[in-house]
Homo-oligomer: A and B are copies of this chain.
Amino acid sequence: MKIGFIGTGVMGKSMAGHLLAAGHDLTVHTRTREKAADLLGQGAKWADSAAEAALDRDVAISMVGFPADVEEIHLGPQGTLSTSNPPSLLIDMTTSTPSLARSLATEAAARGISAIDAPVSGGDKGAREASLSIMVGGAWEAVDRAMPLFEIMGRTIVFMGDAGAGQHTKMANQILVSSSMVGACEAILYAEAAGLDPRKMVEAVSQGAAATWTIQNLAPRMLDGDFEPGFFVEHFVKDLGIALTESANLGLDLPGLAGAARLYRLLESRGLGRKGTQALLLLYREGGVAATENL
Protein backbone atom coordinates (compact mmCIF):
# COMPACT_ATOMS: atom_id res chain seq x y z
CA MET A 1 0.00 0.00 0.00
CA LYS A 2 1.17 3.58 -0.64
CA ILE A 3 1.34 5.21 2.78
CA GLY A 4 2.15 8.75 3.87
CA PHE A 5 3.42 8.62 7.46
CA ILE A 6 3.58 11.89 9.37
CA GLY A 7 5.41 12.06 12.69
CA THR A 8 8.46 9.86 13.26
CA GLY A 9 9.22 10.52 16.93
CA VAL A 10 9.86 7.90 19.62
CA MET A 11 6.70 5.96 18.78
CA GLY A 12 6.13 6.85 15.12
CA LYS A 13 9.61 5.82 14.05
CA SER A 14 9.12 2.24 15.23
CA MET A 15 5.59 2.03 13.87
CA ALA A 16 6.60 3.33 10.43
CA GLY A 17 9.57 0.95 10.47
CA HIS A 18 7.26 -2.05 10.87
CA LEU A 19 5.15 -0.89 7.91
CA LEU A 20 8.29 -0.48 5.78
CA ALA A 21 9.59 -3.91 6.83
CA ALA A 22 6.25 -5.44 5.85
CA GLY A 23 6.80 -4.16 2.29
CA HIS A 24 4.66 -1.03 2.24
CA ASP A 25 5.70 1.99 0.17
CA LEU A 26 6.29 4.84 2.65
CA THR A 27 6.65 8.58 2.26
CA VAL A 28 7.48 10.24 5.57
CA HIS A 29 7.33 13.74 6.93
CA THR A 30 8.27 14.90 10.40
CA ARG A 31 9.17 18.28 11.93
CA THR A 32 12.86 17.49 12.45
CA ARG A 33 14.19 15.71 9.37
CA GLU A 34 17.04 13.95 11.20
CA LYS A 35 14.46 11.97 13.18
CA ALA A 36 13.49 10.28 9.92
CA ALA A 37 17.08 9.42 8.95
CA ASP A 38 16.84 5.72 9.87
CA LEU A 39 13.61 5.31 7.93
CA LEU A 40 15.05 7.08 4.88
CA GLY A 41 18.01 4.71 5.08
CA GLN A 42 15.57 1.80 5.02
CA GLY A 43 13.92 3.03 1.82
CA ALA A 44 11.28 5.53 2.89
CA LYS A 45 10.96 8.68 0.75
CA TRP A 46 11.08 12.14 2.29
CA ALA A 47 8.29 14.72 1.96
CA ASP A 48 8.67 18.40 2.88
CA SER A 49 5.13 18.74 4.20
CA ALA A 50 2.14 16.73 5.34
CA ALA A 51 0.48 17.61 2.03
CA GLU A 52 3.40 16.25 0.04
CA ALA A 53 3.49 13.09 2.19
CA ALA A 54 -0.21 12.54 1.45
CA LEU A 55 -0.21 13.28 -2.27
CA ASP A 56 -1.08 10.28 -4.47
CA ARG A 57 -1.07 7.94 -1.45
CA ASP A 58 -3.70 5.38 -0.46
CA VAL A 59 -3.50 6.17 3.25
CA ALA A 60 -2.10 8.95 5.42
CA ILE A 61 -1.17 8.08 9.01
CA SER A 62 -0.38 10.70 11.65
CA MET A 63 1.44 10.01 14.93
CA VAL A 64 2.34 13.36 16.46
CA GLY A 65 2.30 15.20 19.78
CA PHE A 66 -0.70 17.42 20.26
CA PRO A 67 -4.23 17.96 18.93
CA ALA A 68 -3.08 21.27 17.36
CA ASP A 69 -0.50 19.29 15.33
CA VAL A 70 -3.18 16.83 14.21
CA GLU A 71 -5.41 19.68 13.12
CA GLU A 72 -2.62 21.35 11.16
CA ILE A 73 -1.47 18.09 9.53
CA HIS A 74 -4.90 17.16 8.23
CA LEU A 75 -6.92 20.38 8.06
CA GLY A 76 -4.23 23.07 7.71
CA PRO A 77 -3.22 24.88 4.49
CA GLN A 78 -0.39 22.36 3.97
CA GLY A 79 -2.47 19.50 5.33
CA THR A 80 -3.30 16.11 3.90
CA LEU A 81 -6.76 17.23 2.76
CA SER A 82 -5.30 20.24 0.90
CA THR A 83 -3.74 18.21 -1.92
CA SER A 84 -5.15 17.71 -5.40
CA ASN A 85 -5.22 13.93 -4.90
CA PRO A 86 -5.56 13.14 -1.20
CA PRO A 87 -5.60 9.62 0.27
CA SER A 88 -8.98 7.97 0.59
CA LEU A 89 -8.22 7.04 4.21
CA LEU A 90 -6.78 9.15 7.03
CA ILE A 91 -5.69 7.43 10.24
CA ASP A 92 -4.77 9.54 13.24
CA MET A 93 -2.92 7.48 15.83
CA THR A 94 -2.03 10.45 18.05
CA THR A 95 -3.75 10.66 21.41
CA SER A 96 -6.01 13.62 20.75
CA THR A 97 -9.48 14.90 21.60
CA PRO A 98 -12.63 12.93 20.75
CA SER A 99 -14.16 16.14 19.36
CA LEU A 100 -11.27 16.69 16.92
CA ALA A 101 -11.57 13.06 15.80
CA ARG A 102 -15.25 13.65 15.06
CA SER A 103 -14.69 16.91 13.19
CA LEU A 104 -11.84 15.39 11.19
CA ALA A 105 -14.15 12.55 10.18
CA THR A 106 -16.85 15.07 9.19
CA GLU A 107 -14.47 17.30 7.19
CA ALA A 108 -13.00 14.28 5.43
CA ALA A 109 -16.42 12.82 4.67
CA ALA A 110 -17.39 16.08 2.95
CA ARG A 111 -14.64 15.24 0.43
CA GLY A 112 -15.60 11.56 0.18
CA ILE A 113 -12.68 10.53 2.41
CA SER A 114 -12.75 8.35 5.52
CA ALA A 115 -10.96 9.40 8.70
CA ILE A 116 -10.55 7.15 11.72
CA ASP A 117 -9.01 7.63 15.15
CA ALA A 118 -6.68 4.88 16.36
CA PRO A 119 -4.64 5.92 19.39
CA VAL A 120 -2.31 3.35 20.88
CA SER A 121 -1.06 2.10 24.23
CA GLY A 122 2.14 0.27 25.10
CA GLY A 123 4.78 2.98 24.98
CA ASP A 124 8.13 2.87 23.20
CA LYS A 125 8.50 -0.82 24.08
CA GLY A 126 5.12 -1.70 22.55
CA ALA A 127 5.95 0.31 19.42
CA ARG A 128 9.37 -1.36 19.03
CA GLU A 129 7.98 -4.87 19.58
CA ALA A 130 4.83 -4.26 17.49
CA SER A 131 2.78 -5.26 20.53
CA LEU A 132 0.73 -2.06 20.83
CA SER A 133 -2.89 -2.00 21.86
CA ILE A 134 -4.83 0.02 19.25
CA MET A 135 -8.22 1.53 20.08
CA VAL A 136 -10.17 2.32 16.97
CA GLY A 137 -13.09 4.62 16.23
CA GLY A 138 -14.73 5.33 12.86
CA ALA A 139 -16.94 3.87 10.17
CA TRP A 140 -16.52 0.09 10.10
CA GLU A 141 -15.73 -0.09 6.35
CA ALA A 142 -12.80 2.28 6.81
CA VAL A 143 -11.61 0.49 9.93
CA ASP A 144 -11.75 -2.79 8.05
CA ARG A 145 -9.43 -1.37 5.36
CA ALA A 146 -6.99 -0.22 8.04
CA MET A 147 -6.92 -3.52 9.94
CA PRO A 148 -4.01 -5.10 8.00
CA LEU A 149 -1.89 -2.04 8.84
CA PHE A 150 -2.91 -2.15 12.51
CA GLU A 151 -2.00 -5.83 12.66
CA ILE A 152 1.54 -4.97 11.55
CA MET A 153 1.96 -2.36 14.31
CA GLY A 154 0.00 -3.84 17.21
CA ARG A 155 -1.25 -6.95 18.92
CA THR A 156 -4.58 -6.02 20.57
CA ILE A 157 -6.79 -4.14 18.13
CA VAL A 158 -10.29 -3.28 19.32
CA PHE A 159 -12.97 -1.54 17.28
CA MET A 160 -14.80 0.70 19.74
CA GLY A 161 -17.45 2.47 17.66
CA ASP A 162 -17.91 5.69 15.68
CA ALA A 163 -15.31 8.43 15.19
CA GLY A 164 -14.05 9.60 18.58
CA ALA A 165 -14.64 6.26 20.30
CA GLY A 166 -10.96 5.35 19.90
CA GLN A 167 -9.95 8.57 21.63
CA HIS A 168 -12.48 8.07 24.42
CA THR A 169 -11.07 4.58 25.00
CA LYS A 170 -7.57 6.02 25.12
CA MET A 171 -8.75 8.44 27.79
CA ALA A 172 -10.02 5.51 29.88
CA ASN A 173 -6.61 3.93 29.29
CA GLN A 174 -4.76 7.05 30.48
CA ILE A 175 -6.97 7.28 33.58
CA LEU A 176 -5.77 3.76 34.42
CA VAL A 177 -2.14 4.59 33.63
CA SER A 178 -2.22 7.74 35.77
CA SER A 179 -3.47 5.85 38.84
CA SER A 180 -0.96 3.06 38.26
CA MET A 181 1.84 5.59 38.12
CA VAL A 182 0.77 7.24 41.38
CA GLY A 183 0.51 3.81 43.01
CA ALA A 184 3.95 2.72 41.82
CA CYS A 185 5.63 5.91 43.07
CA GLU A 186 3.90 5.76 46.44
CA ALA A 187 4.68 2.06 46.92
CA ILE A 188 8.37 2.62 46.11
CA LEU A 189 8.58 5.67 48.35
CA TYR A 190 6.94 3.72 51.20
CA ALA A 191 9.18 0.68 50.72
CA GLU A 192 12.34 2.78 50.73
CA ALA A 193 11.27 4.72 53.84
CA ALA A 194 10.33 1.48 55.64
CA GLY A 195 13.82 0.10 55.02
CA LEU A 196 12.78 -2.58 52.53
CA ASP A 197 14.77 -3.47 49.44
CA PRO A 198 12.47 -1.83 46.85
CA ARG A 199 13.48 -4.36 44.16
CA LYS A 200 12.39 -7.22 46.41
CA MET A 201 9.16 -5.35 47.10
CA VAL A 202 8.55 -5.09 43.35
CA GLU A 203 9.27 -8.81 42.99
CA ALA A 204 6.92 -9.67 45.87
CA VAL A 205 3.95 -7.64 44.62
CA SER A 206 4.27 -8.10 40.86
CA GLN A 207 2.41 -11.41 40.57
CA GLY A 208 -0.55 -10.81 42.89
CA ALA A 209 -3.52 -8.48 43.16
CA ALA A 210 -1.20 -5.45 43.14
CA ALA A 211 0.25 -6.28 39.73
CA THR A 212 0.30 -3.49 37.17
CA TRP A 213 2.17 -3.01 33.89
CA THR A 214 3.74 0.03 35.51
CA ILE A 215 5.17 -1.78 38.54
CA GLN A 216 6.43 -4.58 36.31
CA ASN A 217 7.91 -2.42 33.54
CA LEU A 218 8.56 1.11 34.81
CA ALA A 219 9.43 0.51 38.48
CA PRO A 220 12.68 -1.23 37.47
CA ARG A 221 13.57 1.80 35.31
CA MET A 222 12.79 4.11 38.25
CA LEU A 223 14.98 2.07 40.58
CA ASP A 224 17.80 2.15 38.02
CA GLY A 225 17.54 5.96 38.00
CA ASP A 226 16.48 5.81 34.33
CA PHE A 227 14.01 8.65 33.71
CA GLU A 228 14.42 8.91 29.94
CA PRO A 229 11.32 8.73 27.74
CA GLY A 230 9.51 6.16 26.90
CA PHE A 231 6.57 8.42 27.00
CA PHE A 232 7.06 12.17 27.57
CA VAL A 233 5.69 13.86 30.68
CA GLU A 234 4.50 16.77 28.48
CA HIS A 235 2.43 14.41 26.34
CA PHE A 236 0.96 12.78 29.42
CA VAL A 237 0.03 16.22 30.82
CA LYS A 238 -1.76 16.86 27.52
CA ASP A 239 -3.58 13.50 27.71
CA LEU A 240 -4.68 14.01 31.31
CA GLY A 241 -5.87 17.51 30.45
CA ILE A 242 -8.05 16.08 27.68
CA ALA A 243 -9.36 13.41 30.06
CA LEU A 244 -10.21 16.06 32.68
CA THR A 245 -11.98 18.28 30.15
CA GLU A 246 -13.94 15.36 28.72
CA SER A 247 -14.92 14.03 32.14
CA ALA A 248 -16.05 17.51 33.23
CA ASN A 249 -18.13 17.73 30.03
CA LEU A 250 -19.65 14.37 30.94
CA GLY A 251 -20.47 15.61 34.46
CA LEU A 252 -18.06 13.20 36.15
CA ASP A 253 -16.08 13.70 39.36
CA LEU A 254 -12.86 11.66 39.11
CA PRO A 255 -10.64 12.57 42.07
CA GLY A 256 -7.91 10.04 41.21
CA LEU A 257 -7.49 11.50 37.74
CA ALA A 258 -7.62 15.06 39.07
CA GLY A 259 -4.93 14.32 41.67
CA ALA A 260 -2.63 12.63 39.15
CA ALA A 261 -3.08 15.52 36.70
CA ARG A 262 -2.05 18.00 39.42
CA LEU A 263 1.09 15.99 40.15
CA TYR A 264 2.07 15.76 36.48
CA ARG A 265 1.46 19.46 35.85
CA LEU A 266 3.70 20.27 38.80
CA LEU A 267 6.35 17.89 37.46
CA GLU A 268 6.23 19.60 34.06
CA SER A 269 6.42 23.05 35.69
CA ARG A 270 9.70 21.95 37.26
CA GLY A 271 11.24 21.58 33.81
CA LEU A 272 10.83 17.80 33.52
CA GLY A 273 8.37 17.78 30.60
CA ARG A 274 10.82 15.97 28.31
CA LYS A 275 11.51 13.19 30.82
CA GLY A 276 9.61 9.90 30.80
CA THR A 277 6.40 9.57 32.82
CA GLN A 278 8.26 7.45 35.41
CA ALA A 279 10.00 10.69 36.46
CA LEU A 280 7.01 11.31 38.72
CA LEU A 281 9.08 9.48 41.34
CA LEU A 282 11.49 12.44 41.37
CA LEU A 283 8.67 14.77 42.44
CA TYR A 284 7.75 12.37 45.26
CA ARG A 285 11.36 11.96 46.35
CA GLU A 286 11.95 15.68 46.66
CA GLY A 287 8.75 16.11 48.68
CA GLY A 288 7.15 18.16 45.91
CA VAL A 289 3.90 16.28 46.29
CA ALA A 290 2.79 18.31 49.32
CA ALA A 291 2.76 21.42 47.11
CA THR A 292 -0.08 20.02 44.99
CA GLU A 293 -2.48 20.05 47.90
CA ASN A 294 -2.94 23.80 47.55
CA LEU A 295 -3.12 23.88 43.75
Contact = CB atoms under 8 A, between A and B. Distances in A.
Copies, count: 2
14 contacts: A126-B209, A156-B206, A158-B203, A161-B196, A165-B196, A168-B195, A169-B200, A173-B187, A176-B215, A179-B186, A190-B250, A190-B252, A255-B259, A256-B256
A155 interface: yes
A293 B53 CA distance: 50
A133 B204 contact: yes
Nearest to A182: B256
A182 B212 CA distance: 13
A212 to B, nearest CB: 4
A193 B252 contact: yes
The contact size tier of chain A is 35 or more
B196 A168 contact: yes
A133 B131 CA distance: 28
Most chain B CB within a 10 A radius of its CB, from A200, A210, A215, A263: A210
Most chain B CB within a 10 A radius of its CB, from A156, A211, A292: A211
Given A179-B182, A256-B183, A246 B194 contact: yes
A292 B252 CA distance: 14
Given A169-B196, A184-B176, A250-B190, A207 B161 contact: no
A188 B189 CA distance: 28
Given A133-B207, A204-B156, A207-B133, A171 B183 contact: no
Give the secondary structure class of A's interface. helix
B169 A204 contact: yes
Contacts of A213: 208-212
Contacts of A110: none
A237 interface: no
Interface string A4-30: 000000000000000000000000000
A203 to B, nearest CB: 6
A105 to B, nearest CB: 16
Interface string A112-152: 00000000111100100001110100000000000000000
Interface of A: 98, 120-123, 126, 131-133, 135, 155-156, 158, 160-161, 165, 168-169, 171-180, 182-184, 186-191, 193-197, 200-201, 203-215, 217, 231, 243, 246-247, 250-257, 259-260, 263, 287, 289-290, 292-293
A210 B254 contact: no
Given A160-B201, A246-B194, A211 B210 contact: no
Contacts of A120: 208
Given A193-B251, A255-B289, 7 more contacts: A161-B196, A176-B205, A189-B254, A209-B217, A211-B213, A255-B263, A256-B256
